[in-house]
Amino acid sequence: MSHPSSITARVLTSLAMALTMVFAMAGGVAAQDNYPNRTVKMIVAQPPGNSADLVGRMISERLSRALGQSVVVDNRPGASGSIGMAALASSAADGYTIGIGGIGQLALNPTLYSKLPYDAQNGFTTLAIVYRGPMLFMVDPASPITSLKDLVQQSQAQATGLDFASAGTGSIMHLVGEQFARTTKAKMSHIPNRGTGAAATLVLGKHAAVLVENVTASMAFVRSGQLRPLAITSAQRHPSLPNVPSIVEAGFPGMVTEGWLALVAPAGLPVAVRDRLAEEVRKIIMMTDYQAWTIGSGGLAEPISPEQSATYVRTEASRWAEVIRSVGLKLD
């Protein structure tokens, strides 16, 4: 039979543990209610001047004002974005470290690489899709190719087909070209390059028939008349390029494609913090100056919920995994 004093000791120990848990939970709730009470860091897995960096700085500036605390951009480039994304995934899920992840890091890398230092599917809480950027199919102004259907026909008419250029192997632009070739039965071979300028030079030098590139990087070439766009890969015409037909108008509705950037945080972010950040970012996306900047740079932005954003990222990862496997592409 247990001695009364030992029973009392056990009861007191249990009570102390319960109270500790209650106070810890209360402290956590209080911390969430006071969020944020210090600087928030935004990790961008790309170098300064990159589109992800520009979008991140546009958002961080406005988010700082909305939260009443500084939101500081921390560029962590390298290894196709893996360095920055790994740093973000391993950070505390308290709302004080957030980041910008693109289609490459969140949807392409998991299939392009056999092993990553982060879990793209389960390592993050998705807050919002903050930028969407369609692609352009472009040719030399003197090219006889006048449309995407014409591109398909001319590629099929040549014994060796036609070459298409992109800014790099495994980029979304490369994969869009590969998907187009497989979907339309066009005879097209990829010529990879390091950057848009090098890829454009191939087309202008008539070493490649077509360039596939995002609108943001293509604007200068199109506006100067150096390259002629055949179509844009969005469902509708872009406000900044009203004379360029959408890929739906061009006859290929199944090829609607956009690169994108998402605002994410480490997995396990408290719902209250997630919702606060998501709501402030929704307001930012709807701001007149953010919309004007986004459209002017060749992008699009439309607010959707965190749940819709997470579903979008998963759907995109599944879609491009199929394309990457069909090409047999691995980067390691």
Q: What is the mean pLDDT of each run of 10 residues along the chain (332 residues)?
A: 52 52 46 85 95 96 98 96 98 98 97 97 97 96 96 96 94 96 96 87 94 93 95 96 96 96 98 98 98 94 96 97 95 90
In the prediction, which pLDDT does 17 show?
55
Residue 20 CB neighbours (<10 A): 10
pLDDT at residue 24 in the model: 42
Determine the pLDDT at residue 253: 95
What domains does the chain contain, in order, with CATH numbers? 39-132+258-327 (3.40.190.150), 134-255 (3.40.190.10)
Distances (CA, A) of 308 to 105, 137, 285, 293: 19, 29, 15, 24
- The confidence score (pLDDT) of residue 264 equals 98
Chain-centroid distance of CA 251 in Å reads 26
Q: Is 73 exposed, middle or buried (0-12, 13-18, 19+ CB in 10 A)?
A: middle
pLDDT of residue 193: 85
What is the helix, strand, coil percentage profile of the chain, to 5?
Answer: 50, 20, 35
- How far is it, in rounded angstroms, from Cα 146 to Cα 252? 15
The pLDDT of residue 13? 56
Does the pTM surpass 0.85? The reply is yes
Residues 6 or more apart from 68 whose CB is under 8 A from it?
Answer: 36
Query: CA 222, CA 150: separation in Å to the nearest integer?
Result: 20
3 state SS of 115: coil
Which pLDDT value is given to residue 84? 98
Total residue count of the chain as it appears in this document: 332
Q: List, in order, residues 6 or more apart from 63 with CB less than 8 Å away.
A: 40, 71, 277, 280, 281, 284
pLDDT given for residue 8 in this prediction: 55
